[in-house]
Amino acid sequence: MQAQLERGVQGNPGASGRRQVAVPAGVVLRLLVRNHPGVMSHICGLFARRAFNVEGIVCLPADDVAGGARSVVLLLVNKDQRLEQLVRQLAKLEDVLEIGHDAGGNAAFTAVAGCL
Amino acid sequence: MKLTGAQLITQLLERQGITVVAGIPGGANLPLYDALRDSDIRHVLARHEQGAGFIAQGMARVTGRPAVCLGTSGPGATNLLTAIADAKLDSVPLVAITGQVPRAMIGTDAFQEIDTYGLTLPITKHNYLVRSAAELLEVIPEAFRIAASGRPGPVVIDVPKDVQNEFVTFERWPEPGRAEPQRQPADEDIARVAALLGEARRPLCLIGGGVIAAGAATQVELLAQKTSLPVASTLLGLGAMPHDHPLFLGMIGMHAARATNLPLEECDLLLALGVRFDDRATGKVAQFCPQARIVHIDVDASELGKIKQPMLGIEADVAAALAALLPQLRPRPRREWIAEVAALRAAYPLAMPGSECPCEPYGAIRQSAACLGNDVVVASDVGQHQMWAAQAFPFSWPRQWLTSGGLGTMGFGLPAAIGAALAMPERTVVCFSGDGSLLMNIQELATAAEEGVNVKVVLLNNAHLGLVRQQQQLFYGGRYHASRFHAEPDFAAIARGFGVSACDLGAVAEPLAVLHRALQEPGPGLVNVPIAHDANVYPMVPPGAANREMIEGASHASAA
């Protein structure tokens, strides 16, 4: 197991030897959520149930709260006529405290893409 | 104060005003049951966790207040799922507390371990896996707040066994969780509704379960009266308007009377209050209310524009919205429109053949109603009997009618009726059921007998899954399959075996007198009513068709 981890999981290496990732165009939603082990299942489950794909996820504890009681989640999603309905459904989740469009655009995802 | 998690749960429930809970104990919730033994809370022992869930639903539906059911881990939790999902779809405030294996064993496939949190995620308003006894101080009041606030719904609290046993020291009790103040409408939106209603020549109001949840039934009646506004209802809105109100049109949708569906074709403004445009109500949605501008008022913003794009969508409590709207409306006679609706009603009333005979579907319902009077609570199962009851029972007050609308759960009726009777012991509860539905939770007859509840099951017995048989006849060329019960149990004997008094209208000379006697006897009872195997519910809109395409009994019979 350890050896396997050290070798790395075999995948489809790109030309550079790394996987190629692309940042698709789309809308970035910024959620402030309660930070606990179930919160991502609530969010991803909602997208899955409503047959709506999430193209990218970035999530870190919010630094404005001691102890990381809250997290910020950036979701990169396709612009779709159902998006407004999805946002309203997201807003109903108890663990979702705030929801908005991210002013930073795709920047976070572009940065992450460089690490993948 | 120093208490165990289990003691904390029971005392927090007491502080929420909970006096009755339904459930079944098992290994993982035994600490909770041990604490319940010392509590004033009355525990009703169901015979299947789904029964416990629906007993709690019955209490919640009839009172409008959150009710509680309990189950152990694993199968206890999975058996609760249907009742929880049902509560989600019909917006019923329910708090389900399940036992879980001890924290250290979570994720090991321990005995009776299941991921209750994961399983209930898509069927609850919110759910918890409690990770310490101290968390309960927050979680229990919060669960009640969430269940009761805004659009009500179910909340699951999964509590590991060792959390129930863990001691916690605390200074002060938290405040009980209560519904948050309801959302108020914006003034300019209400002014627009008033203007639109003023301009409309043929307005119609559609009410749903949201009107009952908001306690807005009286206001709807005032609104109808003041502006001469005909009111139609969804399945779950029945009871909000008295059945005999001159402006009430009855239930819309798949099994509506022509006189109810046709005015929807004509109306130029639809005021939709606390409804969600369910497909059984709207028929083919693109052709629903084809001429109407729609004003949709609902407490759940995600319902606005979900199915039908309104001209004006207002996120607000229906009662708050009507309170703001009523003073702004001027009386309008609308004589032409009222006359048009009256003409449709006169031309296409609901046909209720056999309503004098207690051994016919409509007769069993109408004669039971005549015998039981206005105060009775009515529960139903799911199927033909449900639609006959929805069409024919003279409902007269909100929360009188308990039925599984969204999920359409066969097996709902009996346990929900027991719950209603526990919450309202001064009333009789009649449960219209079918032989298919009743068999799905028939074990709760034992609970009914044990509790001595005043529940009367009127069983419309056609030895079939009747609505399936009807669809196979109408839409599958009469190719019947798996809809006939060839073994026909003796339901009266079964009921007696459970300790419930019973009679069989098929075996007596004076069925009406026997029905009356059975319904008036105190305590639980069952009346078996053998009905024709091929009786159908009419009218019927074929699934996926527009509401104007109604198949009628007689015309269909002659066409076939």
Q: Is A81 on the interface with B (CB under 8 A)?
A: no
B contacts of A88 (beta carbons < 8 Å): 301-302, 304
ipTM of this predicted structure: 0.89
The 3-state DSSP class for residue B302 equals helix
Q: CB–CB of B411/B53 below 8 Å?
A: no
Burial, B346: exposed, middle or buried (Cβ in 10 Å; 0-12, 13-18, 19+)? exposed
Q: CB–CB of B388/B353 below 8 Å?
A: no
Q: Between chains, do B121 and A88 touch, taking CB under 8 Å as contact?
A: no
pLDDT at B30 over 60: yes
CB within 8 A of B162, min separation 6: which ones?
A: B102, B103, B104
Chain B residue nearest residue A87, CA to CA: B302
Q: Between chains, do B126 and A94 touch, taking CB under 8 Å as contact?
A: yes
A contacts of B127 (beta carbons < 8 Å): 38
Distance in Å, alpha carbon of A96 to nearest chain B alpha carbon: 11
Which of A45, A88, A94 has the CB atom closest to B302's CB atom? A88
| % of chain B at pLDDT higher than 70 | 99
Which of B122, B129, B146 has the CB atom closest to A45's CB atom? B122
Chain A residue nearest residue B300, CA to CA: A92
Over the stretch B354-399, which tens digit does the pLDDT of each residue have?
A: 999 999 999 999 999 999 999 999 999 999 999 999 999 999 999 9
Q: CB–CB of B68/B144 below 8 Å?
A: no
Chain B residue nearest residue A96, CA to CA: B126
Which of A41, A84, A94 has the CB atom closest to B146's CB atom? A94
pLDDT at B258 over 70: yes
Per-residue pLDDT at B560: 34
Write down the mean pLDDT value for chain B. 96
More confident residue, B156 or A107: B156
Burial, B62: exposed, middle or buried (Cβ in 10 Å; 0-12, 13-18, 19+)? buried
Chains A, B: CB contacts under 8 A, how many? Answer: 31
Over the stretch A44-101, which tens digit does the pLDDT of each residue have?
A: 999 999 999 999 999 999 877 667 789 999 999 998 888 999 999 999 999 999 999 8
B contacts of A82 (beta carbons < 8 Å): none
Over the stretch B396-447, which tens digit does the pLDDT of each residue have?
A: 999 999 999 999 999 999 999 999 999 999 999 999 999 999 999 999 999 9
Distance in Å, alpha carbon of A53 to nearest chain B alpha carbon: 17
Which residues is B323 bridged to in the sheet? none
Q: Between chains, do B302 and A45 touch, taking CB under 8 Å as contact?
A: no
The rounded distance, in Å, linking the Cα atoms of A65 and B28 is 35
The rounded distance, in Å, linking the Cα atoms of B334 and B228 is 6
pLDDT at B109 over 80: yes
**Chosen from B302, B307, B315 to mutate, greatest number of chain A CBs within 10 A:** B302
Q: Between chains, do B302 and A85 touch, taking CB under 8 Å as contact?
A: yes
Asked which of A73-82, A104-113, B41-50, B255-264 is least confident by mean pLDDT, the reply is: A104-113
Per-residue pLDDT at A6: 52
Distance in Å, alpha carbon of B107 to nearest chain A alpha carbon: 13
pLDDT at B353 over 70: yes
Stretch B249-253: mean pLDDT: 96
pLDDT category of residue A7 using cuts at 50, 70 and 90 = low
Helix B49-63 to helix B444-451 angle, to the nearest 10 degrees? 60
Per-residue pLDDT at A8: 47
Per-residue pLDDT at A65: 63
Per-residue pLDDT at B556: 42
A contacts of B122 (beta carbons < 8 Å): 45, 49
| % of chain A at pLDDT higher than 70 | 80
B contacts of A38 (beta carbons < 8 Å): 117, 121, 127, 129
Q: Is A7 on the interface with B (CB under 8 A)?
A: no
pLDDT at A27 over 80: yes
b (16+ CB within 10 A) / e for B517-546? ebbeeeebbbbbbbbeeebbbbbbbeeeeb
Over the stretch B295-338, which tens digit does the pLDDT of each residue have?
A: 999 999 999 999 999 999 999 999 999 999 999 999 999 999 99
Over the stretch B473-519, which tens digit does the pLDDT of each residue have?
A: 999 999 999 999 999 999 999 999 999 999 999 999 999 999 999 99
Stretch B199-225: mean pLDDT: 97
DSSP string spanning A27-69? EEEEEEEE-STTHHHHHHHHHHHTT--EEEEEEEE-TTSGGG-
Paired tokens of B233: 């209802």
Q: Between chains, do A85 and B126 touch, taking CB under 8 Å as contact?
A: no
DSSP B484: B
pLDDT category of residue B559 using cuts at 50, 70 and 90 = very low
Stretch B178-193: mean pLDDT: 96
pLDDT at A4 over 60: no
Q: What is the CA radius of gyration of chain A?
A: 16
**Chosen from A84, A92, A95, A96 to mutate, greatest number of chain B CBs within 10 A:** A92
Q: Is A79 on the interface with B (CB under 8 A)?
A: no
Q: Is A89 on the interface with B (CB under 8 A)?
A: yes
The rounded distance, in Å, linking the Cα atoms of A72 and A75 is 10
Q: Provide the whole-model pTM.
A: 0.95
Per-residue pLDDT at B247: 96
pLDDT at A18 over 80: no
